[in-house]
Amino acid sequence: MVIEFGVLTSRQDAYGHQLYDFYKGRPVVECVERDDGYIDPNPALPKYYLSEYKDWTPREKKSVQYAKGRILDIGSGGGRWSLYLQKKGLDVLGVDNSPLAVKVCKTRGVNNVRVRPISEIDSRLGKFDTILMMGNNFGLFGSFKQARQLLKRFYEMTSPGARIIAESLDIYKPPVDPLHRQYHLRNRKLGRMPGQVRMRLRYRTFVTPWFDYLLVSKKQMWTILQGTGWKVNRFIDGPGPVYVAIIDRI
């Protein structure tokens, strides 16, 4: 079963409301709830979504240099990537399933950004040379099956020599929290990928539907890419479990 994660209604748009409120100067803590009851409040996140180039990690700064040509920024959030690339004179289109996030992007000056869930990204948006999935947004693929379907669709939407710049989190990189390890095992038993995290975001009384967010090791990413027309060119590591893959169109 793949959980549909379409355009968020206002009641569901916990992500957009927290982003908008933070942008307007309100203190905000992002709160993720996992389907095993694990709750993960993170005070750093809203700030991260709006962070500027000078505050990026070396991994992020290195990764963004791979962006070229016409760029699709998937899960554009607060517009940190789109804004940077646009300022560099690149042609970038941001998409996000959060209407309020898109509003924040527009207010911040992103020229091209649309409300669009990943499941509705297709060739009607035109051809791209780069697909950006930063901020762990390889996770938006949701599941093994949907990742492969979308990768094949992305192949059709891209030019020869195109690339995907995708960030993920290696769930096996030590130290692994015992609670997370337990969750990975439970997922395996349910026939899901170990890092297929069913979660929802909560902010005040806003709450997203449950959705699957897919975290993978490098090896798992290789496996997912097999036969989709894409292959890893290189990985860019950071000090923690998060890494970026530069993925080439074959």
- Integer Rg of the chain from CA: 17
Which letter does DSSP use for residue 141 in this model?
Answer: G
Q: Which region, left, alpha or beta, applies to residue 211 given φ > 0 means left and ψ of -120 to 50 means alpha?
A: beta
Residues near 147 by beta carbon (within 8 Å), at least 6 away in sequence:
138, 141, 214, 224
- 37: number of CA atoms within 13 Å, CB side? 2
Residue with the two structure tokens 């709160």: 31
Size of the site for a copy of itself (CB under 8 A): 15
CB of 44 to a copy of itself, least distance (A): 10
Considering only 3, 9, 24, 43, the residue that binds a copy of itself (CB under 8 A) is 43
Q: Which is nearer to a copy of itself, 33 or 129 (CB)?
A: 33
By the rule CB under 8 A, 37 interacts with a copy of itself: yes
By the rule CB under 8 A, 179 interacts with a copy of itself: yes
Considering only 29, 176, 185, 190, the residue that binds a copy of itself (CB under 8 A) is 29
Which positions from 86 through 105 interact with a copy of itself, judged by CB under 8 A? none
CB of 34 to a copy of itself, least distance (A): 8
Residue with the two structure tokens 């038993």: 189
Considering only 36, 120, 237, 248, the residue that binds a copy of itself (CB under 8 A) is 36
Residues near 219 by beta carbon (within 8 Å), at least 6 away in sequence:
none
By the rule CB under 8 A, 202 interacts with a copy of itself: yes
CB of 195 to a copy of itself, least distance (A): 18
Q: Using the rule CB under 8 A, give the single segment among 30-38, 81-89, 96-104, 212-220 that binds a copy of itself.
A: 30-38
Residues 97 and 126: beta-carbon distance below 8 Å: no
Q: What is the amino acid identity at position 94?
A: G
Considering only 1, 25, 39, 54, the residue that binds a copy of itself (CB under 8 A) is 39
Which positions from 203 through 232 interact with a copy of itself, judged by CB under 8 A? 203-205, 207
Q: Omega before 175 cis (within 30°)?
A: yes
How do strand 128-133 and strand 70-74 relate by DSSP bridges? parallel
Residues 53 and 63: beta-carbon distance below 8 Å: no
Which positions from 135 through 164 interact with a copy of itself, judged by CB under 8 A? none
Which residues in this chain contact a copy of itself in the complex, by CB under 8 A? 29, 31, 36-39, 41-43, 179, 202-205, 207
